[in-house]
Amino acid sequence: MNLKRRNLVLKSWSVWMAGTALLCGAAQGHAQVGSPTDAVSVRGRIASMAGSSVTVDSNSGPVVVKLGAQTVIRKEMPVKFSDINAGMYVGATARKQPDGTFRASRLHIFSEDQRGVGEGHRPLGSAPQSGQTMTNANVETVEEVVVDNVRGRVLSLKYKGGMIKVVVPENTPVVKRVIGNRSDLAPGTTISATGPRAEDGALIASQITLRAGD
């Protein structure tokens, strides 16, 4: 191999090695970027507030919840029993009855921008062993009934994969979620907050809901 050809081969080898190192470095840099943290939820009373953070007394202890520019705040407003109509997207806390229907203990009417959130039928997340269920679904039909001398309504709730009938007695708490703002937050208020965890353990809230009647 003459000198000129030898130099050309060495140059090509150096270029290939440099390119390989660059690709490996890029791959390592990409691997260091962790996947987004899964969202978690916390519920409890606001114990204190400082700047754009609130400390919540949850069942598992104090949790710092940080608010950002994109945090959506909603509040629950009591509504009339007669305001329940077909076409609404609701969340029903209920217990199964011997006849196969469910009897509601609380009903949430979601704001329209929350349609589809948490859709389905499952054990109540905050008390999975209680026998209560949570169903987020669309109200297909509403029927006026009287059960055990108690006036109420039977809602046919349809969700992906199924449908159940929920009896809502007239005295059942019914609330509707509406958009709120930071001025609604105050010590003593019960909230639920959802978002990813920060490295310091705080919850970075994507949304906060002020709970009515808690």
* Structural domains in the chain plus CATH codes: 40-74+178-210 (2.40.50.140), 76-177 (no CATH)
Return the CA Rg of the chain. 27
Residue 125: the pLDDT is 75
Measure the CA–CA gap between 41 and 205, rounded to whole angstroms: 9
Residue 200: the pLDDT is 92
CB-based contact 209:199 (threshold 8 Å)? no
Query: Mean pLDDT of residues grouped by 10 in the chain (214 residues)?
Result: 45 43 35 49 95 94 95 93 92 92 94 91 80 95 84 94 94 92 95 94 95 77
Residue 26: the pLDDT is 34
What's this model's pTM, rounded to 2 decimal places?
0.69
Residue 214: the pLDDT is 63
Residue 128: the pLDDT is 73
